[in-house]
Structure 1
Amino acid sequence: MTLLPPADSLPDPPALSDAARWRTFLWLWGSQALSVLGGGLSAFAMNIYLTQSRFPLEAQKPELAAALALTGLGWGAAAILGAPLAGALADRWNRRRMMITCDLLGALLLVLGVLMVTLGTPPVWLLTLFTAALGLVGTFHGSAFDTSYSSLVTRDRLPRANGLMQTLWSLSGLLSPALAALLIGLPALARQGEVPLLAGALAGLPDGVALALGIDAASFLLAALVVSRLHWPQPPRQDGGRGRPSLAQDMRFGWSFIGRRPALLHLLLTFAGVNLLTSGVGVLHPLLVRFTLGTPVDGTGAALATLWTALSAGGLLGGLLVSVTGGLKRRRVLGVLLPMIAAGTAHALSGVAGSLPLTAACVLAFGVMTPVMNAHSQSIWQAQVAPELQGRVFSVRRLIAQFTAPLSTALAGLLAAHGGAGSILLWSGALMAVLASAQLLNPHLRRVEDPLPEAPPLTA
């Protein structure tokens, strides 16, 4: 095993061999996998907390739907609205230090979250503010992270790196549900004498939500420690001799860049449509498990963990597929649209499967397709945007592609309060498949990988 090198002992990436650069990327990837895993624990624990502890009764279905929607909306809205500022700062600041700062802020927020759930019953509005703060920190961290590895990894390894990035989220989702369900149940087991070594520490807790949040905080601290021992340079800015633009000009730059490239804009709008149709699953899956599939209250956590595990197992398989094969070398847009059609079909079938095993199989298929289309999209963008511009451009890319996700969460909560979660999944998946099929005929998307034409310098 290669020992982690001290921060100041690594030369700048241009002086590193390909193998050394890849090894540094793997350390960076592994460090962030820790915090992503911790974040998955917190997210799943909060969902179980709302579904099983706060609003367990069928008569509380509207309140549960509203709470799930508000907490999801708070996280998503803060993350997306903060993206332009985060991207501009990622191109201005040292990206490594920005990641460390965000990891430390995330740990601090989670410690406050532990206090919040152990000292009383926090109202839904406070939980919404808490998730919004985590979402804002996450988007700053993501802007620094996403733009760091593309300048560290050589171009021929980027598709494999993108595949590993997809497996990062999927691996977290695969492990987090089972770990969170275990942590949630530990205090009850301690009170029953099943875990005598922890009885004194855990018996007084109503559930394991605080424990999950505390482990998440520790994962952020460990990630910050690892990143502090690595080093990579920030790409030099290219401002065309016009002097350093203002922060507001930097925030507008990404809009100008994408607006002058219709092919990239059409790709973004396609993902915006897909996110509108599918991002409500965080609200719909708990309701599907509890009311459509008829799962008893005390089995909700395990059933929901089954779906989340299936989704993440599929994502892990899809990410590994891209990592091993490198994905399509040409016509990568087909690697986006064809998996998108398959994912929409699986999403629709998950709403009418009628049993937990069949629903999990559909969710697994959806999970396999998602990292395949995401990795190919990321490779297209990295080939079209210079590293020194990626912070500003990718942040606007994230905003345009994902601004519909909070709307999807809110809409899912509204519709599910008055209708069945299964029918919502059916129609949203069918529309996703139709949208992706139509984009196969879009002339802009067929040219999205063509070399960009020369254009006058963009003014920030």
Structure 2
Amino acid sequence: MKAAPTADAPANGWRTFLWLWGSQALSVLGGGLSGFALNIYLTQTRFPLDTQRAELAAALSLTALGWTFAALLGAPLAGALADRWDRRRMMLTCDLLGALVLAGGVALVTLTTPPVWALVAFTATLGLIGTFHGSAFDTSYAVLVPRAQLPRANGMMQTIWSLSGLLSPALAALLIGLPALARSGGGPAWLAGIGDGVPLAFALDGATFLLAALVISRLRIPTPPRRDLPGGETGPRPSLGQDMRFGWRFIFARPPLLHLLLTFAAVNLLTSGVGVLHPLLVRFALLPDAAARGLSQGAALATLWTAFSAGGLAGGLLVSTWGGLKRRRVLGVLVPMVLAGAAHAASGVLGALVPVCIAVACFGLMTPVMNAHSQAIWQSQVPPDMQGRVFSVRRLIAQFTAPVSTALAGLLAARTAPGSLLLWSGLILVLVAGVQLLNPVIRRVDSPLTPAPVLGAEVGD
């Protein structure tokens, strides 16, 4: 797969992107390993007793929310710095810090019984490092890849997350079981002496950070000069606070981008609760059918989530091969969104494991298609030297509804059948996306937008 060099990308930009993509794929897989291993550690080692159910639920929630809130709240600062600093060095620093934090995680679970607050601090630190790395990474490959190839590159990025969802649970389970296998089969003494394989998963994740750092250290990744400064690069520079506010001004001054962003915020509000609803759906609606097929509750849930990841992988491969729409890309966002909403609604009423898995896989298939087209729109409409500041605010607005969705799903599921919640949230999503298909503002999102502002009026405030 090779893209011809054009005026909007360096001659070796596609090759550089492939190296970046490969190293990022390994890092995402490592992150999936360590995240799954942490949940296993909390469930089987830290809070193994039935009487510790409340403590376990609190620990699982707090560690997840620690990562989420650190990533979201750190996004504006990370984006501002991505436009002020050398992006290659920023990624390199984050990779090295990530490896260091994971080394600390290995020591934490090996040498002591860590309190929950220490594990929350551990996940929050990783979330903060991740958002700084993501701000630099997401804005880097847009200057490497020719504009016509952006949907293909974005499709390749989407496959990373789906592939991690498919592989990381099985690999983590294998690593966690290695010490017990070594004890029973006469394996190495150092391995047999470890209580479980959770430190191995953390160490492997740290190794992927180091490998990514090695790859980045060998690449040349341009940082575009800022064009929003009075007098150019030699003129006065805005303060960090002004840069952090810039993304808000940019987005709210462009109604088509704002409408697209709020649509994704609605999508996250309506669908992010599946992490709560799917286990309940399996337990209260699908378990008799799963038992008839010889599957336990855990195996049925694993099958459901594997179907979603498999659909996402297929969708990412589809966009990577096809390359996506070159014109009217907003249709590549909204039409898959309608189909995803219909699949989401169907998953709540089909009532048997296989049909529900098919519906969930269809939802997964549509997700990378709409995400890749959306990313291509933003990369085309936001100048490369402003993408750090704008994309960080974009991430904050689009994703702040995800934890709200999870909390609402837990509250509503206590009073309403999970299938009904999936049905109605899916139907509302179909309605939202259908209305946006008729919205003349969002349909202009592919057209040239208002020129980006120069910061001259604010410099020195």
Aligned counterpart in structure 2 of residue 263 of structure 1, from 256, 260, 268: 256
User: What is the SS of the residue equivalent to 1:158?
Assistant: helix
Bigger Cα displacement from structure 2, 356-365 vs 23-32 = 356-365
Aligned counterpart in structure 2 of residue 232 of structure 1, from 221, 229, 232: 221
Aligned equivalents of 1:441, 1:279: Cα separation in 2? 25
Do residues 367 (structure 1) and 359 (structure 2) align?
Answer: no
- Cα 1:422–1:50 change in 2 (3 A) is farther
**Equivalent residues of 1:187, 1:206 under 8 A apart:** yes
2:39 alignment partner in structure 1: 47
Aligned counterpart in structure 1 of residue 121 of structure 2, from 126, 129, 141: 129
* Aligned residue pair count: 446
Do residues 394 (structure 1) and 383 (structure 2) align?
Answer: no
Aligned equivalents of 1:436, 1:56: Cα separation in 2? 44
Q: 5+ unaligned residues in a row in structure 2: which ranges?
A: none
Coordinate RMSD, CA, aligned: 3.0
TM-score, normalised with respect to structure 2: 0.87
**Equivalent residues of 1:50, 1:67 under 8 A apart:** yes
Q: 5+ unaligned residues in a row in structure 1: which ranges?
A: 3-11
Do residues 159 (structure 1) and 119 (structure 2) align?
Answer: no
1:22 alignment partner in structure 2: 14
1:410 alignment partner in structure 2: 407
Aligned equivalents of 2:280, 2:176: Cα separation in 1? 19
Aligned equivalents of 2:178, 2:200: Cα separation in 1? 9
- Cα 1:123–1:17 change in 2 (3 A) is closer
1:22, distance to aligned residue in structure 2 (A): 1.0
Per-residue CA deviations over 1:214-234 (Å, capped at 9, x if unaligned) read 111111111111111111220
Bigger Cα displacement from structure 2, 70-79 vs 94-103 = 70-79
Do residues 87 (structure 1) and 76 (structure 2) align?
Answer: no
Aligned equivalents of 2:425, 2:59: Cα separation in 1? 22
Report the AA paired with residue 250 of structure 1: D
Report the AA paired with residue 226 of structure 1: V
**Equivalent residues of 1:69, 1:283 under 8 A apart:** no
Per-residue CA deviations over 1:170-204 (Å, capped at 9, x if unaligned) read 222221122122223333333443xx435x33444
Aligned equivalents of 2:47, 2:296: Cα separation in 1? 14
- Cα 1:400–1:15 change in 2 (3 A) is closer
1:421, distance to aligned residue in structure 2 (A): 4.6
Which runs of structure 2 are paired with 1:4-15 in the superposition (5 Å)? none
1:6 alignment partner in structure 2: none
**Equivalent residues of 1:284, 1:412 under 8 A apart:** yes
**Equivalent residues of 1:177, 1:309 under 8 A apart:** no
1:442, distance to aligned residue in structure 2 (A): 2.0
Aligned counterpart in structure 2 of residue 182 of structure 1, from 150, 174, 179: 174
Do residues 252 (structure 1) and 245 (structure 2) align?
Answer: yes
1:407, distance to aligned residue in structure 2 (A): 2.0
Bigger Cα displacement from structure 2, 144-153 vs 70-79 = 70-79
1:69, distance to aligned residue in structure 2 (A): 2.9
1:60, distance to aligned residue in structure 2 (A): 6.2
1:408, distance to aligned residue in structure 2 (A): 2.3
Bigger Cα displacement from structure 2, 46-55 vs 325-334 = 46-55
TM-score, normalised with respect to structure 1: 0.87
Report the AA paired with residue 390 of structure 2: V
User: What is the SS of the residue equivalent to 1:197?
Assistant: coil
Aligned equivalents of 1:48, 1:192: Cα separation in 2? 21
Aligned equivalents of 2:131, 2:20: Cα separation in 1? 17
Aligned equivalents of 2:221, 2:306: Cα separation in 1? 34
Aligned counterpart in structure 1 of residue 65 of structure 2, from 51, 68, 73: 73
Aligned identity (percent) is: 72
Per-residue CA deviations over 1:275-318 (Å, capped at 9, x if unaligned) read 1222233344455556665589x966655443333222211111
- Cα 1:417–1:129 change in 2 (3 A) is farther
1:205, distance to aligned residue in structure 2 (A): 3.9
Report the AA paired with residue 231 of structure 1: R
Aligned counterpart in structure 2 of residue 149 of structure 1, from 141, 154, 173: 141
1:209 alignment partner in structure 2: 198
- Cα 1:191–1:283 change in 2 (3 A) is farther
**Equivalent residues of 2:8, 2:143 under 8 A apart:** no
User: What is the SS of the residue equivalent to 1:314?
Assistant: helix
Bigger Cα displacement from structure 2, 215-224 vs 310-319 = 310-319
- Cα 1:412–1:443 change in 2 (3 A) is same
2:30 alignment partner in structure 1: 38
- Cα 1:434–1:392 change in 2 (3 A) is same
Aligned equivalents of 1:335, 1:97: Cα separation in 2? 34
**Equivalent residues of 1:111, 1:214 under 8 A apart:** yes
Report the AA paired with residue 35 of structure 1: S
1:46, distance to aligned residue in structure 2 (A): 2.7
2:100 alignment partner in structure 1: 108
**Equivalent residues of 1:69, 1:412 under 8 A apart:** no
**Equivalent residues of 1:351, 1:426 under 8 A apart:** yes
Bigger Cα displacement from structure 2, 64-73 vs 78-87 = 64-73
1:5 alignment partner in structure 2: none
Report the AA paired with residue 447 of structure 2: D
**Equivalent residues of 2:41, 2:198 under 8 A apart:** yes
Aligned equivalents of 2:199, 2:348: Cα separation in 1? 33
2:429 alignment partner in structure 1: 432
**Equivalent residues of 1:52, 1:301 under 8 A apart:** no
Report the AA paired with residue 41 of structure 1: L
- Cα 1:115–1:308 change in 2 (3 A) is farther
Bigger Cα displacement from structure 2, 174-183 vs 281-290 = 281-290
Report the AA paired with residue 427 of structure 2: A
**Equivalent residues of 1:75, 1:135 under 8 A apart:** yes
1:281 alignment partner in structure 2: 274
Aligned equivalents of 2:324, 2:197: Cα separation in 1? 41
Aligned equivalents of 2:131, 2:453: Cα separation in 1? 31
Per-residue CA deviations over 1:232-286 (Å, capped at 9, x if unaligned) read 2200111132511111111111111111101111111111111122223334445
1:416, distance to aligned residue in structure 2 (A): 4.9
- Cα 1:104–1:322 change in 2 (3 A) is same
Report the AA paired with residue 257 of structure 1: F
1:33, distance to aligned residue in structure 2 (A): 1.0
User: What is the SS of the residue equivalent to 1:320?
Assistant: helix
Do residues 312 (structure 1) and 309 (structure 2) align?
Answer: yes
